[in-house]
Amino acid sequence: MAKKVLIISSSLRAGSNSELLARECEKGAKAAGHEVEFISLKGREIKFCVGCLSCQKTGSCVLKDDVPGIMERVKAAEVIVFATPIYYYEMSGQLKTLLDRLNPLYAADYAFREIYMIATAAEDGETTFDKAYSGLQGWVDCFEKAELKGIVAGGGIDAAHAAISHDDVMKKAYRLGLEL
């Protein structure tokens, strides 16, 4: 059955490896017949949450930037794939800031049930992706109808466009899209 899939790429770098993998996931999801939307955070204005909690009363944020448009797409998607480079063993600041700003969804009637992560890092250690994945799990834990379902991790990928030469990880990203 076709699902509404949203893929959000949080890397701001040209030739981003996590975005290359996200695009492979997108190809796989489209090949499976899903309705897929791809959003890049490049060029988007995403202000930091100021912690006023006004969104808990009103359902919307007091800050004026690009987040409300992204939030509507997140709310409507059944499956969300977050793509991030790993910086200092964590998700990118852009992704963390976006997750913080999605706070108005906490009390909303959101559609998402399945959440996935795609991540790349120069480091290729056994625990390289653990903190970023745990951080995303913390966000997912606040949405009782949603579940963090898995990760495609590309370790040892550093230079721009390097993911292309990591055929195994490219195939995993494509297969993730196929199997959503």
- Which residues, other chains included, contact 147 with Cβ-Cβ below 8 Å and sequence gap of 6+? 113, 114, 115, 140
What average pLDDT does the structure give for the chain?
97
**Given this model, what pLDDT does residue 54 score?**
93
Say if CB 78 and CB 5 are below 8 A apart.
yes
pTM above 0.95, yes or no: yes
Q: How confident is the model at residue 78 (pLDDT cuts 50, 70, 90)?
A: very high
**Given this model, what pLDDT does residue 57 score?**
87
The 10s digit of each residue's pLDDT in 32-75 is 999 999 999 999 999 999 999 999 888 889 999 999 999 999 99
**Given this model, what pLDDT does residue 107 score?**
87
Counting other chains too, the contacts that 55-59 makes at CB distance below 8 Å and 24 or more residues apart are 55/103, 55/104, 56/103, 56/104, 56/106, 56/107, 58/104, 59/104, 59/107, 59/108
User: Average of pLDDT values for 100-118?
Assistant: 95
Domain 4-179, CATH: 3.40.50.360
Q: Edge to edge, what strands does the sheet with 114-121 contain?
A: 35-40, 4-9, 79-85, 114-121, 147-155
Determine how many CB atoms are found less than 10 A away from the CB of residue 98: 25
